[in-house]
């Protein structure tokens, strides 16, 4: 299963009031293991940067002045996201709102909300009444965030990828060591976004027993071995 963990930084809180996306960071995971594939880009918002927003992420108007416009990188971003991957974000409606506002402004198709998984909702279900900010969850699960002095889209996506795995049962899921955890993980994602766990057609298992020819070839190979250890002692 391919999933994209992503985060955004913006000029403010509401794209409808003129706020713009200024950074996006995406991490690819397959079967809950990061693959090393990422997408990261800063964007020139073509507007001023409010002081309160700059205090959060440290991205100034001067820094962003020579960065590409969102429209120049939009197709590259969509190619990375693909058509089927589940898209995971913390307070996902915020990130989806800005992403789809920018895509609409470019005249491109928006990303379906059916693909959205919100880790805030998963955290609230798992830890009702507790603090569920990304910082709080990193502390709860022992995820090192000592290098995080300001918000940054790619860094926050990297932290969220680790937190996401922990929320769904821990790192053993990726190593397939805890069979009981997998149904719980699927259920947690399904609760936040039922469309993300689509039914898939069952496939008949492939034959895996050795054929007569393979057994004969193996027997001939064994005759070539000198003093095999299984005959000692």
Is 43 inside any structural domain?
Answer: yes
CA dist 230 to 210, 215, 224, 227, Å? 21, 18, 14, 8
User: What's the CA gap between 34 and 38, in Å, rounded?
Assistant: 9
Helix (H, G, I), strand (E, B) or coil at 227: coil
Q: How far is CA 178 from the centre of its chain?
A: 21
Residues 143/163, Cβ–Cβ less than 8 Å: yes
57 among annotated binding-site residues: yes
Is 12 inside any structural domain?
Answer: yes
61 among annotated binding-site residues: no
Is 39 inside any structural domain?
Answer: yes
Number of structural domains in the chain: 1
Is 16 inside any structural domain?
Answer: yes
CA dist 24 to 32, 67, 99, Å? 21, 13, 9
User: What's the CA gap between 75 and 15, in Å, rounded?
Assistant: 20
Is 228 inside any structural domain?
Answer: no
For the annotated catalytic residues, the residue numbers are 151
Closest C-alpha to 85, from 158, 22, 31: 31
Range of the domain at 43: 2-196
52 among annotated binding-site residues: yes
14 among annotated binding-site residues: no
Is 132 inside any structural domain?
Answer: yes
Residue 136: which H helix or E strand, with range? Answer: helix 134-141
First-last CA distance in the chain: 47
Query: What's the pTM?
Result: 0.73
Per-residue pLDDT of the chain (233 residues; tens, 9 = 90+): 999 999 999 999 999 999 999 999 999 999 999 999 999 999 999 999 999 999 999 999 999 999 999 999 999 999 999 999 999 999 999 999 999 999 999 999 999 999 999 999 999 999 999 999 999 999 999 999 887 767 889 999 999 999 999 999 876 544 444 444 445 455 555 555 555 555 555 566 666 677 788 788 877 777 777 777 766 65
9 among annotated binding-site residues: yes
**The pLDDT of residue 31:** 94
CATH code for the domain of 57: 3.30.420.10
Is 150 inside any structural domain?
Answer: yes
Is 21 inside any structural domain?
Answer: yes
Helix (H, G, I), strand (E, B) or coil at 88: strand
């Amino acid at each position: 299963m391919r999933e994209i963990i992503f985060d955004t930084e913006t000029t403010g809180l509401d794209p409808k009031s003129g706020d713009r996306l200024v950074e996006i960071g995406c991490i690819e995971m397959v079967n809950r293991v990061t693959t090393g594939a990422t997408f990261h880009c800063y964007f020139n918002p073509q507007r001023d940067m409010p002081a309160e927003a700059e205090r959060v992420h440290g991205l100034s108007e001067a820094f962003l002045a020579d960065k590409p416009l969102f429209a120049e990188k939009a197709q590259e971003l969509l190619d990375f996201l693909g058509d089927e991957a589940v898209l995971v974000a913390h307070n996902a409606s915020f990130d989806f709102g800005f992403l789809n506002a920018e895509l609409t402004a470019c005249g491109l198709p928006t990303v379906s909300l059916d693909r959205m998984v919100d880790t805030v909702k998963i955290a609230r279900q798992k830890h009702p009444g507790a603090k569920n900010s990304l910082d709080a969850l990193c502390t709860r699960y022992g995820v090192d965030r000592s290098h995080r002095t300001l918000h940054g889209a790619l860094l926050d996506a990297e932290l969220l990828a680790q937190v996401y795995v922990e929320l769904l049962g821990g790192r053993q899921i990726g190593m397939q060591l805890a069979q009981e955890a997998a149904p719980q993980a699927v259920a947690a994602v399904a609760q936040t976004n039922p469309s993300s766990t689509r039914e898939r057609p069952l496939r008949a298992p492939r034959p895996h027993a050795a054929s007569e020819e393979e057994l004969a070839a193996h027997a001939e190979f064994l005759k070539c071995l000198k003093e095999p250890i299984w005959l000692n002692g």
